[in-house]
Copies of this chain bind each other. A is one copy, B any other.
Amino acid sequence: MYKNSRLIAEYEQSLNDMKGLIAFSGLALAALAANAEESTRPNIVLFLVDDMGWQDTSVPFYNDQQTPLNRRFHTPNMERMAELGVRFTEAYACAISSPTRCSLMSGMNAARHRVTNWTLELNQSTDRKSQTLLLPDWNYNGIQPDTATPIRNATPITPLPQILKDNGYFTIHCGKAHFGARTTPGANPSSMGFDVNIGGGPNGAPGSYLGVKNFGEGTRFAVEGMEKYHGQDIFLTEALTREAIVAMDKATALGKPFYLYMSHYAVHSPIDDDARFSDSYRGRYDEQLKDTLNEREARYAALVEGMDKSLGDLLDYLEAHPETGRNTILLFMSDNGGQAVPGSRQGRGNRDQNYPARAGKGSAFMGGVHEPMMVYWPGVTQGGTQNKQRVMIEDFFPTILDMAGVRDYQTSQTIDGISFADVVRSPGLQRERPIVWHFPNLWGETQDIEEGYGAYSSILKGDYHLIYAWETQRIRLYNIREDIGEYTDLSTRMPEKAKELSRLLTKYLKERNAQRPAYRSNGKLIPYPDGSEK
C-alpha cells in the first residue's frame, strides 16, 4: 500500500525547493519554468481492458451495492486501486471495440469519426448484410495519422500519443491496438505516435492467449511482435505485462515521462485456460446462476483474474519505484460492455452477463456501454472515494493531455471529448455531460432490435436514456436511475421528455454530419430520431 501522505509531503517539498531555486533570477525564470514543467510532467498509465463488463469484478460499480456478479469475480488488485483512488460509477464507452479505441485516440465521438463498427481487413466492411437496410459507407479502414498518405474510408487524425510524444513523453503501446485495417498506417501503433509497440496490430482479438500456441500465429488474429515468448508456457496477459515493465524502465533510463497505454487483449475471447487461476473457479457454486460454474464460466473468471494480476504487477512496480510511482497517474477503463460468453448460461440471451444492466457488448442498453472505471492520481485523488461524474470514452483524450500539462496543442480533427481532469482534482465540480452513441451499422453477432442491437443511436441525459432504432424508427425511453435494467419504456408516458431527447440527439448527429442507414427498397435515408428527414 502506498504511503500517500508521506509521498505528497515529499513531492510538495521538492516543488518548493524548485520554486526557491527559480526565484534567484528573473531572467532565467521563463526558461527554467518551461524546463520545470517538462521535468514534472506526470507519467500516465491508461489500463484498458477489452470486453470487460462493469460487473466482471469484485469492485462494486453499481453504486456501492455488491451484486451477485461482484461476488463471482475475484479482482484483489482492482480493489487495491479502488482503495487508493476513486471509482467513477458513471463511465461509458461505445458498445464495440474499434469505435471506442478510435474515440480514445482522436477525442472524436463515433458519429464524427465514422469508424462505427469493428475493423480488420483493408477495404472490407464487417457489417452484417441486411435485406431491409442499406448501411452507410463508413470508415472501415479505421483512423490513420494525418501525416500519412490518405487512405480511402479512413479518418485522418492527430493521435493522442503523437501529441504526448511531441511534448517530451516516451509513449508505449502494449497490447491490443485495433485502430485501423490491415496494411494501413493506422494498423501500426508505431505510426500513430507510439515510441514502442508491444503486440499491437490490426487484430481486435488474440488468435490465442497461449505462448505454447505462439499467440495464434498463422491465423487472422495472430498477435505480432511477441515472438520471444513463442513456445513458452506463458499467458499473453503476463507476457504483455512483463514487456510493459521493461518499457517503463527504458523511459526512466531516458529521463522521460512516459505514457503507457496498457491495452490488454484480455478479457476478449478466445476463453483460453489461464491455468494460474482457473482451478479456484471450477465447480464453485455461483449465487447468480444458482448452480456451479461450468468450464467456460470458470475460465472466463480466470481470464479476468489474470488481467487483475497484471494491474497488481504494475501497482507493485510503481510502489517499488517510488520516484516514478508518486508521479504516475493510473486510469482504469474497459472498451465496451461485457460480452455474452458463448457457452455461459444466461437467463435471457445476452442479458445476465452485465446484470443488473440489460444486454451486453454491441447493445444500446446500459449492459453494452457502462464501464468499470477508476482513477488513481497520487496526491490528488482521495482513496476509496466514488465519483458520479459522467464520463464518455472520448473524454480521455483531452483529460490525459490536461493531466500531462499539455495545453497548447493543435489537432486536425475536431475534439468532442470534455476533460474531466478538473473533476478528478475537485470532485465537487460535477457537470452535466449528455452522452451520445451512434451505430448506423449491423453487428455480425446479433441484430436483435428488441435487445438494443441492430442500427441505433442513443442519448443519455440526466436520468433518461433514449434509444432510437433506425430500422423500425422506434423510440424507447428509460429512467436509468429508477430502472437500471431498462425494462419500462416510458416513451408513451413521457412524450415531452422523449421529444426533447430525440431533438437533442438529432441535433448532435446533424452537427457531426453523422451517417445514416437507408431503406434498401427505395434508397431513402431513414429519418433522424426526431422524425426530420434532412
A residues sitting closer than 8 Å to B (CB atoms) are 122-123, 134, 136-137, 141, 146, 149-154, 156, 181, 183-184, 518, 520, 522-525, 527, 533-534
Contacts and interface: CB of A to CB of B under 8 A. Distances in A.
B523 A151 contact: yes
B152 A122 contact: no
A234 to B, nearest CB: 35
7 contacts: A134-B152, A149-B527, A151-B518, A151-B522, A151-B523, A153-B523, A154-B523
A518 B149 contact: no
A524 B518 CA distance: 27
Majority secondary structure of chain A interface residues (helix, strand, loop or mixed)? loop
A151 B183 contact: no
Contact of A523 (B134, B183, B524, B533): B183
B184 A152 contact: no
B533 A149 contact: yes
B150 A524 contact: yes
A378 to B, nearest CB: 42
B522 A122 contact: yes
A524 B148 CA distance: 10
A524 B181 CA distance: 12
A523 B141 contact: yes
Contacts of A152: 134, 136, 518, 523-525
A154 B525 CA distance: 10
A158 B51 CA distance: 48
Nearest to A122: B523
Query: Which of A156, A524, A527: most chain B CB closer than 10 A?
Result: A524
B181 A523 contact: yes
Complex copy number for this chain = 2
Given A123-B134, A134-B123, A137-B137, A150 B522 contact: no
Given A134-B123, A150-B534, A534-B150, A522 B183 contact: yes
Query: Which of A150, A183, A184: most chain B CB closer than 10 A?
Result: A150
A520 B522 CA distance: 30
Contacts of A146: 534
A136 B153 CA distance: 10
Nearest to A527: B149
Nearest to A151: B523
A123 B525 CA distance: 12
Contacts of A522: 122, 151, 183-184
A152 B149 CA distance: 28
A518 B123 CA distance: 10
A71 B134 CA distance: 53
A506 B520 CA distance: 35
A38 B153 CA distance: 50
A533 B534 CA distance: 32
A528 B154 CA distance: 17
Nearest to A534: B150
A153 B534 CA distance: 14
A430 to B, nearest CB: 39
A370 B525 CA distance: 37
A330 B153 CA distance: 46
A182 to B, nearest CB: 10
Contacts of A141: 523
Nearest to A144: B523
A115 to B, nearest CB: 14
B534 A156 contact: yes
A224 to B, nearest CB: 18
A493 B183 CA distance: 39
A146 B123 CA distance: 32
A524 B149 contact: yes
Nearest to A183: B522
Contacts of A524: 149-152
A520 B152 CA distance: 10
Given A152-B524, A184-B522, 8 more contacts: A123-B520, A136-B152, A146-B534, A149-B524, A150-B525, A151-B523, A151-B524, A183-B523
